[in-house]
Amino acid sequence: MQEKLPPQPVLLVLMACLIVAMMGASAHGAMSIPWSSLPRLLWGELQPGEALLQKVLFDIRLPRVLFSALTGAALAITGVTMQALFRNPLAEPGLVGISAGAALGAVFAIVMTAGGFLTVAAAAFAGSLGATFLAYSIGRRYSGVAGLLLAGIAINTVAGSAIGVFTYLANDTQLRDLTFWSMGSLAAADWKTFFAGAVDGAAGGIPVPAVAHSQRLAAGRTGGRPSGL
């Protein structure tokens, strides 16, 4: 049997890769920033002619880079929660219609309300929450995890059809917004959206380890397996 790598060195390597990737994303763009200048710009020790570089870094690059890292962390928490729920390492939110529900909410907001970044994000959250409750209600009523998966397939199909209808109704500008949103564009990210996302991510992510721990304790007392998150 192949031995598993210890988690601590792997975590350190991944953290180092993340820092390097964030530095690269902060340095490269329409206006390049030398890597050697990043620490100085962050600490405010400017040399002549670097005021514009610092403004680009703080007002444009850093909010997008930090928001992308926050988004990746939230997706990781979501994925591992779904894997614990289904006890399957291949499980992900798309299986039960959560991703389709979020996409439907965002498409509805873009086409019908012409809302901004926060409006679209709130609509996507509402759509994913509605899909989650619907899938859970159907799965719990009929056949547990198998029913949940079948409900997810049905939700994906219905949501995909509704997205097609809204896409047909969209004008050229809305179609452009739909395209960039589906590609995961972070062009609208700023410090306001970053801090709002950090609060939301903490509210959803911090309870997950506590719930998992309580499930393990319950399984240990009963001698069975955790019932899932």
Lowest mean pLDDT, pick from 39-43, 136-140, 171-175: 136-140
pTM for this model (two decimals)? 0.77
Per-residue confidence (pLDDT) for residue 165, from 0 to 100: 93
- pLDDT category at 196 given cuts 50, 70, 90 is confident
Would you tell me how many other CB atoms lie within 10 Å of the CB of residue 38?
16
**Could you give the angle at the alpha carbon of 73 between the alpha carbons of 68 and 78, nearest 5°?**
125
Arithmetic mean of pLDDT, 37-57:
83
What whole-number percentage of the chain has pLDDT above 70? 88
| pLDDT single digits (tens) 65-90 | 999 999 898 888 888 888 877 776 77
What is the domain partition of the chain in residue ranges? 1-75, 87-188
Q: Answer with the residue of higher pLDDT: 132 or 158.
A: 158
Positive or negative torsion for Cα 41, 44, 45, 51: positive
Q: Show the 3-state SS of the chain.
A: CCCCCCHHHHHHHHHHHHHHHHHHHHHCCCCCCCHHHHHHHHHCCCCCCCHHHHHHHHHHHHHHHHHHHHHHHHHHHHHHHHHHHHCCCCCCHHHHCHHHHHHHHHHHHHHHHCCCHHHHHHHHHHHHHHHHHHHHHHHHHCCHHHHHHHHHHHHHHHHHHHHHHHHHHCCHHHHHHHHHHHCCCCCCCCHHHHHHHHHHHHHHHCHHHHHHHHHHHHHHHHCCCCCCC
User: What does the pLDDT read at residue 89?
Assistant: 75
Tell me what the mean pLDDT of segment 28-51 comes to.
82
